[in-house]
């Protein structure tokens, strides 16, 4: 409802994307009829709500293709992009974060911390442009952008084009993840249970692996959910830099064209995805922390 009204408050008319200089009154009227912007707002809203209730996301005003298949097509780019970036970020951030907390008194512990601080400050598009200049334009190792026309029908090519975008998101994401892992580890290091475990004869690394990681993972897990959701929606910048036909670029184009069915469809699906991610993060927390399961069980 809010979304519907906000979108209509934007100046402009979806019909404008269909006409060109030289269009006469009849052509403009026909365009407005085609996109339904000649109907009263209440009627437009009714149409929107009833079709949403039927899980029918409608048909694009501009391309006249159904919204859902196009979203699926673009998710085939955006989902692997975000999930793989996320995994790569984890691979970078978790060991480095733990290392920098455990070895905070060594020079490399401090160095990791400083570099990650820098990483948080750099904008994503800038990292992207640097990587393109280095790996694509100068070294010619990876393509500078685009997605193969055959999509995942050409898996090797598709992965190659996704490599630099994935690296871009992973670098930026791992910088902030690393901070969380580091501080969670520091909390664990100062905790009573770790000291107790060591007092009972466990070695430092054994205590850390058996008790530390499990405890430290709980707060990190909820952050991970938020980070993944942010990455999904934030992919729009990276998609632009690397010219990827993903969900973000679909949203951006739809907003430019006032293509309401596409905007509403993308936002609807991304909301579902973000809810799903939140749910998975919750589930993950419960798996690693039995206390959460028990407290819920006790209440019901």
Residues near another protein (CB under 8 A): 11-13, 16-24, 26-28, 30-31, 33-34, 62-65, 70, 73-74, 129, 132, 136-137, 140, 143-147, 149-151, 240-246, 249-250, 253, 256-258
- Considering beta carbons, is residue 70 or 227 the nearer one to another protein? 70
| Cα gap 223→281, rounded to integer Å | 9
- If the CB atoms of residues 92 and 164 are measured against another protein, the closer one turns out to be 164
- Does residue 259 contact residue 17 with C-beta atoms inside 8 Å? yes
Instruction: Pick the closer one to another protein by CB: 227 or 239.
Output: 239
3-state secondary structure of 228: helix
Of 67, 66, 60, the residue nearest 18 (C-alpha): 60
Which residue lies nearer to another protein by CB, 33 or 214?
Answer: 33
Q: What six digits make up the tokens of 129?
A: 């442009």
Tokens found for residue 23:
């269009």
> Phi and psi of 134, rounded to 5°?
-75, -60
| Nearest approach, Cβ of residue 19 and another protein (Å) | 6
| Residue 20, C-beta contacts closer than 8 angstroms, at least 6 positions apart | none
DSSP at 16: G
Instruction: Name which of 112 and 250 has its Cβ closer to another protein.
Output: 250
What lies within 8 Å, CB to CB, of 145 at 6+ separation is 132, 136, 161, 164, 165, 241, 242, 243, 244
Nearer to another protein, 149 or 297 (CB): 149
Length of the chain: 300
- DSSP 8-state secondary structure symbol assigned to residue 297: H
- 140's tokens: 């010619």
Least distance between another protein and beta carbon 257 (Å): 7
Q: In the structure encoding, which two tokens stand for residue 28, read together?
A: 């403009």
The minimum distance between CB 85 and another protein, in angstroms, equals 19
Q: How far is the CB of 76 from another protein (least distance, A)?
A: 10
The smaller minimum CB distance to another protein, of residues 100 and 270, is found at: 270
Per the CB < 8 A criterion, the answer to whether 194 and 186 are in contact is no
Rounded least distance, CB 22 to another protein, Å: 5
């Amino acid at each position: 409802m809010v979304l519907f009204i906000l979108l209509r408050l934007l100046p402009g008319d979806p019909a404008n994307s269909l006409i060109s200089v030289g269009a006469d009154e009849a052509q403009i009227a026909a365009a407005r009829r085609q996109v339904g912007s000649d109907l009263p707002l209440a009627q437009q809203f009714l149409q929107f709500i009833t079709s949403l209730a039927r899980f029918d996301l409608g048909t694009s005003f501009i391309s006249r293709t159904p919204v859902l298949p196009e979203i699926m097509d673009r998710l085939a780019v955006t989902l692997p992009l975000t999930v793989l970036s996320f995994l790569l970020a984890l691979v970078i951030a978790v060991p480095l974060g733990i290392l920098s907390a455990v070895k905070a008194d060594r020079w490399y512990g401090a160095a990791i911390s400083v570099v990650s601080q820098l990483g948080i400050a750099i904008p994503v598009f800038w990292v992207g442009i640097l990587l393109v200049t280095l790996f694509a334009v100068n070294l010619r190792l990876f393509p500078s952008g685009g997605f193969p026309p055959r999509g995942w029908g050409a898996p090797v090519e598709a992965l190659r084009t996704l490599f630099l975008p994935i690296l871009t998101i992973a670098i930026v994401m791992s910088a902030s993840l690393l901070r969380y892992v580091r501080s969670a580890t520091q909390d664990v290091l100062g905790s009573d249970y770790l000291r107790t475990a060591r007092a009972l004869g466990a070695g430092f690394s054994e205590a850390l692996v058996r008790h530390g990681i499990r405890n430290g993972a709980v707060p990190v897990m909820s952050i991970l959910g938020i980070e993944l959701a942010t990455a999904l929606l934030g992919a729009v910048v990276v998609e632009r830099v690397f010219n990827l036909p993903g969900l973000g670029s679909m949203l951006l184009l739809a907003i430019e064209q006032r293509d309401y069915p596409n905007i509403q469809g993308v936002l609807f699906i991304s909301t579902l995805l973000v809810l799903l991610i939140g749910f998975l993060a919750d589930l993950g927390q419960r798996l690693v922390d039995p206390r959460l399961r028990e407290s819920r069980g006790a209440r019901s």
